[in-house]
Structure 1
């Protein structure tokens, strides 16, 4: 059975100013992530503007990611659809494009009840041989894959991982009590990673790792080694920026942060618009403070 562990950034899709996919910039960012020690990458997550991409664009992004990863880390793709038929068809397609796993959203067009949620994930699992990470984000999508629902999915072998993003830290422990190590449990909220690590999560789907991959990998490693005093010091530097990952405009926020830190294009596809005014100043100030604090930390360590 597939066992994913470590830091898996939810990769932003780089765009040109006129809204076209910038494949080379996307490949460069993925290579940067891998070189800085991430354990996997997830293209076409919500942060990657999945729902705004055409199928040919998704194919190009997945194939480019697989090419640049070159077997160094697994490449997962987000799967975000409205109907089960489309989800099943695209699960097969993404497998043919080279994806090595799927991060599966609930239906984007309808808030399924528990019975329907079970059938949604079972149906998608039956469509390909790819291992599946359930993207459980009821705050954004209105569907909570609860312990009771997971109990109905425990015998579906393709479902191997839960991205836990309820914001209720107790859920991590509840899943371990109920299922032991049946599922890999990943933290899906940047500003809960240290808390989640203390409860035993095996991985982290992270937005701000796009910005600071080496530091986020270091933070996860410190927690894994039970070096919590050191982890908290780094966490205190990064947490104001991690809060940007939980805002409705996280795509714009994180892309702007990437631009500030390493020059990646900040452009998004409409209806998302570039940040302006006080909101932009807040993001710039928050990220700049972290840049300065990380530089001071490096100087002290030298």
Structure 2
């Protein structure tokens, strides 16, 4: 696998009653690949991983694997409570055709540095899949700091980190501590230009679900150092990118997909669809981006 490019965190498409909508999922995966993404990540947090049963996760990966058809790498999110459950899930996802894991820390326990290192080493030993560490201390309270990465450098299965600490300085700190040992991906949409300027090799993106062609274009411009061309597109999309950092990012991004190409917006309880002023506000942000992108295309 080449750890470069845009890897969208794919939303899990659902029907209004909360059941899986696998045809809609396959359509969305195909749409992403046709528009140039370099890989897809199924069952991320944005894909409501923790709200699905293991049987449902298996259905998602099987359907997605069929849609991908070998065109790009397919990763699976891995979000479990115990080391035993994480190891079992890793082996299951490997059998189902995942080619890599985006692995959360324990989602129910705030591990210290020693425990975090052990968690990822044990997970690496559970399967042969390469691992991207999901680092989101804001949401999960566990920070995979550069010194933790240094302790994981001797574990070959750990190859990448999705950096979502919110501190843009962290990208440089990782490179200073570890050199090029790990691929570093931007993990939050509204820091992609800044992260690319500091040398990230990839982007795990939420809003790429709605605008894959535009997000791939933005990433490619940034990676090529063409920031004068990238900035107008980045500024246009940044209000929508800010929606990726909210606790309701699942609802917000699904609503964006719904407005852009008619994807189902339904979510699994306890999440609820947006309504009232909140829906109006989020809808206005999305519709403004749609209108501005149309204006750019027509210019």
TM-score range relative to shorter protein: over 0.9
Alignment partner of 1:81 is 2:80: yes
Shift of 1:179: 1.3
Contact 1:3/1:184 (8 A) holds in 2: no
Please list, as runs of the form range in 1=range in 2, the aligned pairs for 1:230-245 lying within 5 A after superposition.
230-245=229-244
Aligned: 1:153 with 2:152: yes
Q: Which runs of 5+ in 2 are unaligned?
A: none
In the TM superposition, residue 3 of structure 1 has moved relative to its aligned partner by 3.7
Instruction: Give the alignment's Cα RMSD to 1 decimal.
Output: 0.6
Deviation beyond 3 Å, 4+ runs, structure 1: none
**SS state of the match for residue 14, structure 1?**
coil
Q: Matched residues in 2 for 1:183 and 1:163: separation?
A: 10
**Mapping of residues 53-92 of structure 1, within 5 Å:** 53-92=52-91
- Secondary structure, aligned partner of 1:126: helix
Per-residue deviation at 1:66?
1.2
Match of 2:181 in 1: 182
Instruction: Describe how 1:192-207 pairs up with structure 2 within 5 A.
Output: 192-207=191-206
Q: Tell me which residue corresponds to 1:257.
A: 256
SS of the equivalent of 2:126 reads: coil
2:37–2:212 CA contact under 8 A, matched in 1: yes
Contact 1:84 1:120 in 2 (8 A): yes
Distance between the aligned counterparts of 2:129 and 2:69, measured in 1? Answer: 18
The residue aligned with 1:20 is 19
- Given that 2:147 and 2:177 are in contact with CA atoms closer than 8 Å, whether structure 1 keeps it comes out as no
Aligned length: 299
Helix, strand or coil at the partner of 1:91? helix
Distance 1:180 1:231 in 2: 27
Alignment of 1:219 with 2:236, yes or no, is no
**What does residue 120 of structure 1 align with?**
119
Q: Distance in 1 between matches of 2:202 and 2:180?
A: 13
Deviation at 1:161, TM superposition (A): 0.3
TM-score for the superposition, normalised by structure 2: 0.99
Q: For 1:118 and 1:193, locate their aligned partners in 2 and report how far apart those are by CA, in whole Å.
A: 27
Q: SS of 1:215's equivalent? A: helix
Q: Distance in 2 between matches of 1:104 and 1:90?
A: 11
Distance 1:224 1:114 in 2: 32
Q: Distance in 2 between matches of 1:216 and 1:156?
A: 32
Q: CA deviation at 1:153?
A: 0.3
Q: Name the structure 2 match of 1:102.
A: 101
Alignment deviations for residues 150-194 of structure 1 (CA, whole Å, 9 cap, x no partner) = 111000000000000000000000111111111000000000000
CA distance in 2, matches of 1:109, 1:189: 22
Q: Can you list the C-alpha shifts for 1:85-105, whole angstroms capped at 9, x where unaligned? A: 000011001000000000000
